[in-house]
Amino acid sequence: MATETYPDELRYHSEHDWARIEGDEALLGITWFAQDSLGELVHFEPPAEGATITKDASYGEVESVKAVSELISPLSGEVIAVNQKVVEAPETVNEDPYGDGWLVRIRLSEPGEADSLLDAAAYKQLLDEQ
């Protein structure tokens, strides 16, 4: 299992999703806290490539032995890639939530939305308050 970390270069949504913004694109995934709370993932139900996803709305599901959890998008955009490795081996997210365990890559439609996301310090504070 991965060690608890919240990389500084990422932006975080209060629903425990992260975004790694790279120009007009972003990789999305779930945080260490989310995968730890869910336990070992057994299924990833991704959106279709080409689908439009919207900030604060569900774009797919992850299922663990404990629960099914909606994925809440931190940003809006068009899905340009789905991580097939996670589709085939969902436990990759448990092993490497910020690396090989990314979920989708999107082309941002509203880059300004990133300003409303939390930085690592603010996200850690949110976790401490829960």
12-32 per-position pLDDT tens digit: 999 999 999 999 999 999 999
- DSSP category for residue 4: P
Cβ atoms of 92 and 86 closer than 8 Å? yes
pTM for this predicted structure: 0.96
Task: State percent of the chain over pLDDT 70.
Answer: 99
| Whole-number Å distance between alpha carbons of 84 and 100 | 10
DSSP 40: S
Look at residue 2 in the predicted model and tell me its pLDDT. Answer: 79
> In this structure, are residues 62 and 70 in contact, taking their beta carbons and an 8 Å threshold?
no
What is the arithmetic mean of pLDDT over 69-98? Answer: 98
Q: How many helices, marked H, and strands, marked E, lie in the chain? A: 4, 9
Strand order in the sheet with 68-72: 41-45, 58-64, 68-72
User: Domains plus CATH for the chain?
Assistant: 14-109 (2.40.50.100)
At residue 111, the pLDDT reads 95
Per-residue pLDDT, averaged over 97-102, amounts to 98
pLDDT band at 62 (very low <50, low <70, confident <90, very high): very high
pLDDT, residue 39, reads 96
**pLDDT value at position 130?**
83
Cα–Cα distance list, 33 to 16, 38, 48, 103, 107 (Å): 7, 9, 26, 16, 26
Mean pLDDT confidence for 93-106: 98
Predicted local confidence at residue 104, as pLDDT: 98
